[in-house]
Amino acid sequence: MPEGDTVFRAARLLDRSLTGDRLVAADLRVPQHATVDLVGATVVGTASRGKHLLTRVDADGERLTLHTHLKMEGAWRVLRPGGRWPRPARQARVVLTTARRQAVGFSLGVVELLPTADEDDVVGHLGPDLLGPGWDPEEALRRLRADPDRPLVEALLDQRNLAGIGNMYAAELCFLTGVHPRTPVGEVDALPRLVARAAQVLRVNSDRPVQATTGDLREPHWVYRRDRRPCRRCAAPVAVDMTGPAGRERATYWCPRCQPDRPGAAQGV
């Protein structure tokens, strides 16, 4: 699933490409909105909220929001009208066309159209947005600490605590903080440093297409998807296991030597 910085870049692309222009064609290829006519509406802007995208339009004075979510396979692409699509047409779920640009949302996991005033119905449950203008680290810490027995990696992935962290960042942040991902939140003394680092690394990566946590764009990750390969810091084989609630398990990566799974382990490196 895309990380928050990927969604942030998608929002910025849509905002720069469509804002201020009128739609000359609009096709929402989902049953519940198949008959909606947005032709003539003016695009007001697009913003991200965690992993959610909110494209706002003014349709004859009525403010509407197109809420989309990339989920696992989704992507937005912006082309010139009439340009060749990079994916099969059958994967397109939203097509927004202006005189200058055409934005196509492929394999989107969520497509909803709602009054802009009702946006909280779809994003109001989210915690502080790591890349949002109202980022509040203290509120993020409060939410994380509300369930001290919860494994750290699960708490980081819960968008109700802080919005924008996916599987890659959860693994990398645990490594950078020297904490085993299954450590209960209440035992992580370095939690404020981890939250601050999360905001820092997502902000840096929001300005580049390569998501790096190592400082080396050629070798961008410390442990993520490096199962059984040598840890970049100590050369011990990186471990991987499925963690999380039943039915929502995800692959979690860590270094057994740098992130030992035992009480009283070092909480920072």
- Beta-carbon contacts of 245 under 8 Å, excluding residues fewer than 6 positions away, are 154
What CA–CA distance (Å, rounded) separates 209 from 114? 31
- Beta-carbon contacts of 19 under 8 Å, excluding residues fewer than 6 positions away, are 43, 44, 45, 46
- Beta-carbon contacts of 211 under 8 Å, excluding residues fewer than 6 positions away, are 3, 5, 6, 168, 205, 220
In the chain, beta strands by DSSP E? 25-28, 42-49, 52-59, 62-69, 75-79, 92-97, 102-106, 110-115, 239-243, 250-254
Active site members: 2-3, 51, 250
- Beta-carbon contacts of 180 under 8 Å, excluding residues fewer than 6 positions away, are 152, 174, 254, 259, 260, 261, 265
- Beta-carbon contacts of 267 under 8 Å, excluding residues fewer than 6 positions away, are 177, 178, 179, 188, 189, 190
